[in-house]
Structures are given as C-alpha cells and as structure tokens.
Amino acid sequence: MEPPSEFAMASAPEGIGESLWEEVPLPELLEVAAGADSDAALEFRKTLGMFATGVTVITTLVDEQIHGMTANAFMSVSLQPPLIVISVDRRARMNNLLREGVRFGVSVLEERQSVLSDRFAGRGGDGPDPDFELVHDTPLVEGALAHLVAGVVRSYWGGDHSLFLGRVEYVRYGEGTPLLFHGGSYGRVAGNPRVFSELPPELLQPILDVGVEREYEDGEAIMRVGEPGDAMALVVEGNAVIERGGRKIPVAPGELVGEIAVLDGGPRTATVVAEGRARVLEISRTALMGVLEADPKATSALIAVLASRFREST
C-alpha cells in the first residue's frame, strides 16, 4: 500500500524524515496575551504545562545497552493500524538511538513512581535500580501501570524535537492509578480516590470533585485548635486522631474532620494529627459553600452527618 503523501521520505535533516510542517512561525511571531510575562518562550512553556498528562519512560535496547528517557509527549494516533507517537528532544541521547526500524518500549508510570521519572529525566532520583523485563527484545520498566512495545515506522522533523511514529506490536496494562504531570509538577488523580466512606453519596461525590489532595507525615497537624475553620478534610488513606481536651478520638479513612468549624469559619475546637502517613482531601470553606449552594441534597446530607456526630458526643 502506498503511504499517504505526508509520510513521504525525501532529503531529511539529520536522518529525520521530511515533513510538511517545516514552515513553522519564527519564535518572535508567537503572540502572548497582553499583560502576560514578556518572555514569550516562558509563556509558551507555561501554557503547554496546563495540559495535564501522564508520564512515561521510553526505553530501547541498543548494542546490549538499555537506555531510558522520561517523556510526557506521548500520544495515541491510530487504532487500525495501532500507531503511537512520541516527541524527543533532538539533544537527548534517545534521539540518536531511535531510527526507523528500531523498537522502543513505553512504560506508563504508576502514581508512586515519580522518583523513577526523575531518574530517567536525569534529575537524580534516589532509590533502588529499576528492574526491566525484555519483551520483543525491548526493555520495559517493571511496576509500571501499562506497557507498549512499538517499532519506529516513520520519523519527522519537529523543530527542536523529533517525532517518532511507532507501530505497536505488544500491549498490556494493570490495576492502579497513573502518575500525572501538570504545570511542571507531579500530581495524582484526586477527583476519584478510592474512598470507602459512610458519607451519603449526595455529599461524598461533590466533595471528591472539589477536594484537593494533601499528604501528611506521622505526627503532622492536619488542623490546629484555635485556627480559623477555612477547610474541612476527608481522610482518604491512613489514620488521624482528633485531640480535644485531653481526649483522643481516632479517625479512619472515609471520615470527615473539621466539618463543624468550616461552617461558620472557625475557630477550631480540636487539633487533628496524622497517625502514620495520611492522605486527605481538603475541602475549602469556599468550595464547600459552593457545593451546598448548588445542591440542597448535599446540604441535608451534611446536616444528617452533623446530627449523628452530635448524638455520638452526647
């Protein structure tokens, strides 16, 4: 079958296939919004950073040597035939290793693999050496959430990056949640944590939607007595303890803390401390008010929660 015209190969810059996209605007033609930072290149990077992605490690085996590189510029292209594309900095060593006919692996990182991501991005990253598994003579990072093996079928000039179009020949995925990258930092899927909670669904779901995830180390205060009640928290993972007047009340995953002071803005009547490492969803007063105003069912569900707390404490 004849390849589509945009895949045509001709005189290629440094071994990269010719593309129709060579005539890109010069950087100084990039318009940034009035009032924005005057550095157009920085504005461009920051704008692109608003697009949240997962994180992958691209791997390849050349001359018995495994090479890996962190990349978030990974995209699905076609289902039939199965095609993907990655964008690789022309200064990266990976750019010199990938060529048409060379296979590469894509390991989609799991949410606890940010150290590995840093490591394959040349940013240090301590921890044990990663283990690889060879599939179709291609290294894949063990413990990742999903894996693909592809062979480069075309490569394109992409400015200071090269685009490698890969035909996928092996796929597999597992259970878990992905590591995210957004605005230059790692993140986790916060809108959908797996919380087993006794809270009524009318209240739980909107809280999951607006909550912001925070992690606390053992002994760290999640909230302190006397502080304004500017947020309440839903314990998602780990445990906490409410310290009030010499009493200690344990809080398990799925339970709320600070839900009384948040209603009138404070001050808090107790200190809440993480027991072991704890992950909580923090719901600001403003976000909570928005939830309650948007849905009367959420409001009556919160009243029911407060009523049962009142009964427990009397």
Ligand X SMILES: Cc1cc2nc3c(=O)[nH]c(=O)nc-3n(C[C@H](O)[C@H](O)[C@H](O)COP(=O)(O)O)c2cc1C
- Would you count residue 152 as binding ligand X (CB under 6 A)? no
Beta pairing class for 231-244 and 56-62: unpaired
* Residue choice 3, 13, 15, 122 for contact with ligand X (CB under 6 A): 122
CA atoms within 13 A on the CB side of 58: 28
* Residue choice 62, 66, 83, 121 for contact with ligand X (CB under 6 A): 121
**CB 161 within 8 Å of CB 87:** yes
Tell me the two tokens of residue 251.
Answer: 């809080």
* Residue choice 59, 117, 155, 197 for contact with ligand X (CB under 6 A): 117
CB of 52 vs ligand X, minimal distance in Å: 11
Tell me the two tokens of residue 214.
Answer: 């925070």
Give CA separation, 263 vs 154, 209, 226, 306, 310, in Å: 59, 19, 15, 11, 15
- Would you count residue 93 as binding ligand X (CB under 6 A)? yes
First to last CA, the chain: 79
Q: In the window 1-20, what residues touch ligand X (CB under 6 A)? A: none
CB of 222 vs ligand X, minimal distance in Å: 29
CB of 272 vs ligand X, minimal distance in Å: 33
CB of 310 vs ligand X, minimal distance in Å: 47
Q: What backbone phi and psi angles, to 5 degrees, belong to 190? A: -95, -25
- Determine the 3-state secondary structure of 281 from DSSP: strand
Tokens 């990072």 sit on residue: 141
- Would you count residue 45 as binding ligand X (CB under 6 A)? no
Q: Classify residue 124 as exposed, middle or buried by CB count within 10 Å of its CB (0-12, 13-18, 19+).
A: exposed
Q: In the window 73-92, what residues touch ligand X (CB under 6 A)? A: 73, 87-89, 92
Q: Between residues 36 and 77, which has the closer beta carbon with respect to ligand X?
A: 77
Sign of the C-alpha dihedral computed for residues 6, 9, 12 and 16 taken in this order = positive
- Would you count residue 222 as binding ligand X (CB under 6 A)? no
CB of 29 vs ligand X, minimal distance in Å: 24
CB of 40 vs ligand X, minimal distance in Å: 21
Using CB under 6 A as the criterion, what x/- string covers residues 180-209 for binding ligand X? -x----------------------------
Which residues bind to ligand X, rule: CB under 6 A?
A: 55, 69-73, 87-89, 92-94, 117, 121-122, 181
